[in-house]
Amino acid sequence: MATDTDGRTGIEGLSALVTGGGSGIGLGAAKRLVADGAHVTICGRSEDRLKGAVNELSVQGAAGAAGAASYVVADVTVEEQVVHAVGAASARTGRLDILFANAGGSLHMGPLADADLEAVRATVDVNLIGTFLCIKHAAPVMAAGVAGGEGGSIIGMSSGAGHFPHRYLWAYGAAKAGVDMLCRCAAEELGASGIRVNSVQPGIVDDELMAPITAGGPLLDDYLAEMPISRPGRVEDIAAAVRFLAGPESAWITGDNLAIDGGHHLRRGANYGLLFGE
């Protein structure tokens, strides 16, 4: 493992698992971790997408003589597949040092009274239950590595929608609020095992998922009007925060829910009713 000029140990040689790592913020975070020397395993449900992502990561790693990348196909809502993903991520070094539980999404948007039960359940499942399963199975592997003198870092993917209301995005927001509380509870419980747990709360980020909004229109205008730093986020903004929370630079930070949103959390949430002509 490399040591910088301040005597701090970096993440070179550490093993990381990034769920939902085939695109967007997950892929951006994986790129940052590989660039800093970590051995990164990305997982997701689409093998074709994962293969393309690993090709990008491998080219980057070779160019920078940095870390390495691999993939494993896994659905984070299926427990045995999460067990398999954690095993694959730890196989290279016999350890798991970093988990970015990034997989998630919104399968429901709209008023409470019109909500489809299965869409709401699926939203909670992929965000909250998926993150729970990843922490459940990553934590024992991380704890086993502490005897070697290292701790582990878990970062959950939350959202500004989980911190303050965004009109009609309530199912996603409730699931992400659950992720924040899950990470805080896990931080309290796992600290004695040398494991730190935090979450990140991105605002609107200009990636594939949010492209229909960041391309422009009333909803983007609504976002920007409520942001002191009035621009969409970049994938790199979130990746930099994940890298910070993954490494020794944040060694005394745990149980935090970090807003990365240009200050959006200081004001009101976005009005997704604008997508319905309201």
Q: Are 263 and 172 in contact (CB under 8 A)?
A: no
What is the pLDDT averaged over residues 252-257?
Answer: 98
Distance of CA 41 to the CA centre of its chain: 14
| pLDDT-derived band at 61, boundaries 50, 70, 90 | low
Q: Please check whether residue 2 lies inside any domain of the structure.
A: no
CA nearest neighbour of 172 among 235, 208, 131, 127: 127
- Is residue 172 annotated as a catalytic residue, yes or no? yes
> Kind of pairing, strands 152-157 and 39-44?
unpaired
pLDDT of residue 67: 85
The average confidence (pLDDT) of the chain is 93
- The CA distance from 200 to 253, in Å, is 13
| Whether the predicted pLDDT of 211 surpasses 50 | yes
Q: How many independent structural domains does the chain possess?
A: 1
Residues 6+ apart with CB under 8 A from 216: none
pLDDT of residue 141: 96
Q: Please check whether residue 272 lies inside any domain of the structure.
A: no
- The CA distance from 126 to 184, in Å, is 19
Q: Are 194 and 152 in contact (CB under 8 A)?
A: yes
What is the pLDDT averaged over residues 211-225?
Answer: 97
| Whether the predicted pLDDT of 157 surpasses 50 | yes
Q: For residues 102-118, b (16+ Cβ closer than 10 Å) or e, as one string? A: bbbebbbbbeeeeeeee
| Whether the predicted pLDDT of 147 surpasses 70 | no
| Whether the predicted pLDDT of 77 surpasses 50 | yes
Q: Please check whether residue 138 lies inside any domain of the structure.
A: yes
pLDDT in tens, 96-146: 999 999 999 999 999 999 999 999 999 999 999 999 999 999 999 999 886
Q: Please check whether residue 29 lies inside any domain of the structure.
A: yes
Q: Please check whether residue 60 lies inside any domain of the structure.
A: yes
Q: Please check whether residue 275 lies inside any domain of the structure.
A: no
pLDDT of residue 3: 43
Any idea what the CATH number is for the domain that residue 152 is in? 3.40.50.720
What is the pLDDT averaged over residues 187-200?
Answer: 97
| Catalytic option among 168, 172, 223, 272 | 172
What is the pLDDT averaged over residues 156-164?
Answer: 98
pLDDT in tens, 82-99: 999 999 999 999 999 999
pLDDT of residue 114: 95
Say what percent of the chain tops pLDDT 90. 90
Q: Are 98 and 14 in contact (CB under 8 A)?
A: yes
| Whether the predicted pLDDT of 10 surpasses 70 | yes
pLDDT of residue 8: 45
| pLDDT-derived band at 1, boundaries 50, 70, 90 | very low
Say what percent of the chain tops pLDDT 70. 92
Q: Please check whether residue 34 lies inside any domain of the structure.
A: yes
| pLDDT-derived band at 62, boundaries 50, 70, 90 | low
Q: Please check whether residue 270 lies inside any domain of the structure.
A: no
Q: What six digits make up the tokens of 195?
A: 């494991």
What is the pLDDT averaged over residues 229-235?
Answer: 98
| Whether the predicted pLDDT of 52 surpasses 90 | yes
pLDDT of residue 148: 47
Give the range of the structural domain holding residue 32, as residue numbers without chain letter.
15-262
pLDDT of residue 59: 75
